[in-house]
Amino acid sequence: MRTVTVLALLAVALLVSAAAGILVGAVPIAPGDVLSALLGADNTSGTIIRELRLPRVLGAALVGGALAAAGALLQGMLRNPLADPFVTGTSAGASLGAVLAVALGFEPVLVPLAAFVGATVSIALVWRLARLGGRTTVLTVLLGGVVLTSFAGALVTLVLVSSDRLALRLRAVLGSSPSA
Mean pLDDT (the chain) is 86
Q: Are residues 62 and 101 in the same domain?
A: no
Show which of 51, 78, 105 is a domain's final residue.
78
Is the per-residue pLDDT at 74 higher than 90? no
Domain ranges, residue 165: 90-174
Q: Are residues 64 and 94 in the same domain?
A: no
For 39-48, 55-64, 146-155, which range has the lowest pLDDT when averaged over its residues?
39-48
Average pLDDT, stretch 150-167?
83
- Residue count (the chain): 180
Q: Give the integer Cα–Cα distance in Å for 139 and 79.
A: 10
Stronger pLDDT, 118 or 139, i.e. the higher one:
118
- Beta-carbon contacts of 81 under 8 Å, excluding residues fewer than 6 positions away, are 75
79, 139 Cβ separation under 8 angstroms: no
Is the per-residue pLDDT at 172 higher than 90? no
Q: Is residue 13 part of a domain?
A: yes
Q: Is residue 45 part of a domain?
A: yes
Q: Give the integer Cα–Cα distance in Å for 157 and 117.
A: 19
Report the percentage of the chain scoring pLDDT > 90: 44
Q: Exposure of 136 by Cβ count < 10 A (0-12 exposed, 13-18 middle, 19+ buried)?
A: middle
| Count of structural domains within the chain | 2
Q: Are residues 12 and 57 in the same domain?
A: yes
Average pLDDT, stretch 28-33?
86
Q: Are residues 51 and 94 in the same domain?
A: no
Q: Are residues 96 and 166 in the same domain?
A: yes
Q: Is residue 69 part of a domain?
A: yes
Residue 13: pLDDT band (50, 70, 90) is: very high
Please report the pLDDT score of residue 180 as a whole number. Answer: 45
Q: Is residue 83 part of a domain?
A: no
Report the percentage of the chain scoring pLDDT > 70: 91
Q: Are residues 100 and 55 in the same domain?
A: no
95, 101 Cβ separation under 8 angstroms: no
Please report the pLDDT score of residue 138 as a whole number. Answer: 83
Average pLDDT, stretch 136-165?
86
Residue 105: pLDDT band (50, 70, 90) is: confident
